[in-house]
Amino acid sequence: MGFAPELAAAYREAEYVVFGEPDLVLRIGEPRPALDALLADLGAEGAAFLSAANPASERRSAEENRRAAAALDAELATANYSRCPGEGRDPKGRWPAEPSVLAVGIPRAAAEALGRRFAQNAIVYIARGAAPELLFLEQLRLVLDTNVWLDWLVFADPCMAPIRAAHAAGRATIFIDEPCAAELAEVLTRPLGRRPVDPAAAMAECRRISKFIQNSVPGADLPKCRDPDDQKFLELAAAARADILLTKDAALLELARRKPPFKILTPQNFSAP
């Protein structure tokens, strides 16, 4: 896990703007008495500067970002937090402004959880009397092989509980591509014990859970799996910059000794941060 130095620097150098007359510009590490006064007036001990735009720092359309911002605002409204609209700006102009909101009175842990739910790399938290603080939200990047997907979608294997929990809490993102999805879709049409399976419903759930990526370039530096059909999971993990490939397949697990650029673990050995 971890973020590229240039990405981390961009977050630290950004301007976090709360709209007003005049605008209130927050910078990491710089105290803002005007914000302290606002928090005091509202009887709040802290606030968080949050965005739902461009999840995982992947550029989305303006319309997608507007919809995400509306969903974030609805969650904050449901919890009765005071909200002040704003935007995150790159002072060097390398990326467009992101619609954001200052959530007043939200506890730090709740703000972090909300940031993870909207797949954000970081949030800004400001305790009253302190300078704005940048909080990076580490998320595991996971790839599941077909049998692990079956344990999730069909068999409800108890070993999947920590993986499910990490995903639900926003601590993990699961990636898939078309070759791996095609194999899963085909396997779901086979007899799978006595458990009835609706292949279309199972694939719809897979698509809801996972993030699809385009993966058209084979990983030249990856170890070769003795089962050629499993090479696609290694290539997906490399293309997704995954932290972990989860599998129960012996041919894949034996490659862990070859030190690929990601861990290869069984679901039983998975633990989330």
Res 217: pLDDT? 60
Per-10-residue mean pLDDT, the chain, length 273 = 74 96 96 94 96 90 95 95 96 93 95 89 95 89 96 94 88 93 96 86 95 72 92 93 94 92 94 71
What pLDDT score does 270 carry?
94
pLDDT of residue 273: 63
128-137 CB burial, b ≥16 within 10 A, e <16: eeeebebebb
CA dist., res. 221 & res. 214, Å (int): 19
Which is nearest to 98 in space by CA: 80, 118, 78, 116? 118
Question: What DSSP line would sit under 6-42, residue for residue?
Answer: HHHHHHHH-EEEEPSSS-EEE-TT---HHHHHHHHHT
Token representation of residue 159: 């070993």
Instruction: Note the pLDDT tens digit of each residue in 23-58.
Output: 999 999 999 999 999 999 999 999 999 999 998 888
What's residue 2's pLDDT? 53
Does the model's pTM come out above 0.85? no
Using alpha carbons, list the distances in angstroms from residue 24 to 31, 38, 49, 106, 180. Answer: 12, 11, 12, 19, 47
Residues 6+ apart with CB under 8 A from 229: 183
Omega within 30 of 0 (cis) for the link into 33? no
> Do 125 and 133 form a contact (C-beta atoms < 8 A)?
yes
Gyration radius of the chain over CA positions: 21
Residue 95 contacts residue 137 (beta carbons within 8 Å): no
Domain residue ranges of the chain, discontinuous segments joined by +: 5-136, 140-269
Task: State the pLDDT at residue 43.
Answer: 94
Predicted pLDDT at 218:
63
Domain 140-269: CATH architecture, name and number where available = 3-Layer(aba) Sandwich (3.40)
Alpha helices in the chain (DSSP H): 5-13, 33-41, 62-78, 108-117, 146-150, 161-168, 178-187, 199-209, 231-239, 250-253
